Amino acid sequence: MLKLILYRLALAVPQLLLLSLFVFFLTYLIPGSPAGAILGAAATPEGIARLEAQLGLDRPWYVRLGEFYAGLVRGDLGNSYISGRPVVELFVERIPATASLILAGMLVAVILGLALGIMGGTKPGSIRDRVATAFTSVSMSLPEFWVGIVLLLIFAVQLRILPVVSYVPFDVDPFGWARGLILPSIALGVGGAALIARQTRTAMASAMSSRYIDSLTAAGVPRRRVVFRYSFKNALVPVLASTGLTVSIMLGASFSVEKVFSFPGIGALMIRSVTGKDFAVVQGGVLLIAIMIILINLILDVSYGLLNPKSRPS
């Protein structure tokens, strides 16, 4: 198992290197210069030069690249062009809100997705399979932010049983934290559930038609046990293999959910920085999100090895 973890870590290094290079050169793709973009159409050449000097953008690229990597090693991604605060600090203080949202959304997605997938996959072609499939197709087409707006309208504005402003830090009020996550996690989880349900249905249907199901059934193992103990664990193998993609999709979707429920998360920071042309924050955000996704995939790969004996190095 340790071998597998080390191997995966070794694979992640070139990925990170490549990604950081790409992210570094992003600012060079800006037509004109970042300073010009920040100052807008009314900028004078002197003004641009002054801002460039102030932001350190006037030095040659190799100096800046060296500085970028020196900073990266120390966990420093530079400072925001606008507030001047360290980029890493800006993100770190926003991680709890986004992490809460994604974890809660994932919980909804996994429970709902597995239930729907098992419902359809254990009896393909049946009426309950058609119901589950129809539900999945519709959820796939629901924009998460619209689901959020509708939930907010019904439960917060009209019925007034849940708060409009959702996020309460866990250490301030754990109950309020959980209560505030109900609607956002449903909004985010429904789409993820559809992805998981689709995967589970296919995997479950193929597991159910496997030979070993016959062997177990013929040995007198009751169907319920065959389904939940044997087919299910087999079906989890391909489902887990695609979970990395599901998490990534949900991370993207969390941006608009954060806006609906006014979450002080990473998405809100990114959007604010894009509209405010704070390239340092956008750059740092892209890199941090990529690192997070590489880490999540690493964890998933290792748990995949736990689940599937064939992929364990012997």
**Footprint on residues 95-124 left by other proteins (CB under 8 A):** 123
Q: Provide the mask over 129-168, with x wherever binding to other proteins is found by CB under 8 A and - wherever it is not.
A: -x------xx-xxxx-xx--xx-xx---xx----------
- How many other β-carbons are positioned within 10 Å of the β-carbon of residue 292? 19
**Per-residue DSSP letters for 241-305?**
HTHHHHHHHHHHHHHHHHHHTT--SHHHHHHHHHHTT-HHHHHHHHHHHHHHHHHHHHHHHHHHH
DSSP collapsed to 3 states, 300-311: HHHHHHHHCHHH
Closer to other proteins by CB, 51 or 268: give it: 268
- How many other β-carbons are positioned within 10 Å of the β-carbon of residue 22? 12
**Footprint on residues 216-235 left by other proteins (CB under 8 A):** 216-223, 230, 233-234
**Footprint on residues 54-93 left by other proteins (CB under 8 A):** none
> Which range binds other proteins by CB under 8 A, 49-57, 61-69, 166-174, 208-216?
208-216
CA distances from residue 83 to 88, 89, 113, 277 in whole angstroms, order as listed: 13, 12, 42, 12
CA-CA distance, 143 to 156, in Å (whole number)? 19
Closer to other proteins by CB, 31 or 84: give it: 31
**Footprint on residues 30-59 left by other proteins (CB under 8 A):** 30-31, 37
Closer to other proteins by CB, 175 or 220: give it: 220
Q: Which of 82, 162, 286, 302 binds other proteins (CB under 8 A)?
A: 286
108-135 as b/e: b if 16+ CB within 10 A: bbbebbbebbbbbbbbbeeeebeebbeb
CA distances from residue 163 to 149, 159, 249 in whole angstroms, order as listed: 13, 10, 26
- In the complex, least distance from residue 190 CB atom to other proteins, rounded to whole angstroms: 12
Contacts 24+ apart (CB under 8 A), 293-300: 293/244, 293/247, 293/248, 293/251, 294/12, 294/15, 294/16, 296/244, 296/247, 296/248, 297/244, 298/5, 298/8, 298/9, 298/12, 300/240, 300/243, 300/244
Of 38, 23, 121, give the one whose Cα is nearest residue 69. 23
Closer to other proteins by CB, 137 or 173: give it: 137
Indicate whether 271 belongs to the interface with other proteins (CB under 8 A).
Answer: yes
Size of the site for other proteins (CB under 8 A): 73
**Footprint on residues 5-34 left by other proteins (CB under 8 A):** 15, 18-19, 26-27, 29-31
Q: Provide the mask over 232-261, with x wherever binding to other proteins is found by CB under 8 A and - wherever it is not.
A: -xx--x------xx--xx-xxx-xx--xx-
Closer to other proteins by CB, 70 or 311: give it: 311
- In the complex, least distance from residue 301 CB atom to other proteins, rounded to whole angstroms: 12
Closer to other proteins by CB, 66 or 252: give it: 252
> Which range binds other proteins by CB under 8 A, 77-85, 114-122, 169-177, 213-221?
213-221
Q: Which of 45, 60, 84, 309 binds other proteins (CB under 8 A)?
A: 309
Closer to other proteins by CB, 103 or 157: give it: 157
